[in-house]
Chain A
Amino acid sequence: MTDRWVTKQFRRIRIESGEMSVLYFFGRLNLIIVLMVYAVNLSEGYFEGWHRWLLGINLVPLMLVTFWTLETVKYLWRRKKRKEDGKPLVAAWDERDTLIFYKALACGFAVAWFFLVLGIGWYAMYFCLSRPELLTANAISFIIRLDVSVLVLFFSLSVVLQKHGEEKLDG
């Protein structure tokens, strides 16, 4: 019974607090970081002189941990300040976020598993058959690191898409 009259009346009610939910925030943040790292890796030739380790896929966990730590500190500080000012605390995570989180995780794991199998298969075929001496622990480690970045990428993409649809409902 959501008739047009009620909908029309509600358009004039001001929506308080435009704060992003924690899951959406981290989803977007992760996506930006991973895409940035991919872009840097793809244009590696332009960044000669930089330490190779920084340009490698190792940048993903480094940046994620740095941003997550900074944001967690910021969140805790703001929460403390809200408490001190006597303002009500706003929920940062609820049952719907848990649902979205698990859905996104399932999506991320499915794609990451596919890439892991594909990556190991490709390495096995390319190196074991033609140049067996080159199959190193380093190569396996690279596949796993790349796979983690794929997991984060698809997990974040799924979160952002689900949450974006929700934001659109807001009008």
Chain B
Amino acid sequence: MTLALLVVYIHLVSSVLLVGYFLFWLIMTVGLERLEPAAEVAPLTAAMLAGARWPPAVVPWKLRLTVPGLGWTFLAVLVLSGIAESLAGARYPVGGALGLKLALLAALAAAHAQLGRRPTPGLAKLSLGLALGIVVVSVLLPR
């Protein structure tokens, strides 16, 4: 496997993880909304945002990633591997499918910034939709 193929592989795996991440948010926020009593929702959400850290062991607590931190990490890997793909020879005309993909990515980053602070089912649906939209638009990029 050449370096260029390895970069494509990393890009694909991080796309899979990012979609899984937003699916997690959708399942979690909708699940929380269905909870009875509703007064439990805010403390459970706060506990998840502050207390769920990855990796769960080995690394000191302060250095562990929060759940939104995981999302930012996946996004960063996607952007960096996407740039690396471009540098490795994939020349796409800016505009058209690539322009749409970058616009969707910017919208996803904005939605994620909000989702990481105040998660709601609506934001989770929007984010997952945007992530899947990016996947669909990527198929249209010329090879």
**Binding between chains A and B:** no
Interface residues of B (CB under 8 A from A): none
B-binding residues in A (CB < 8 A): none
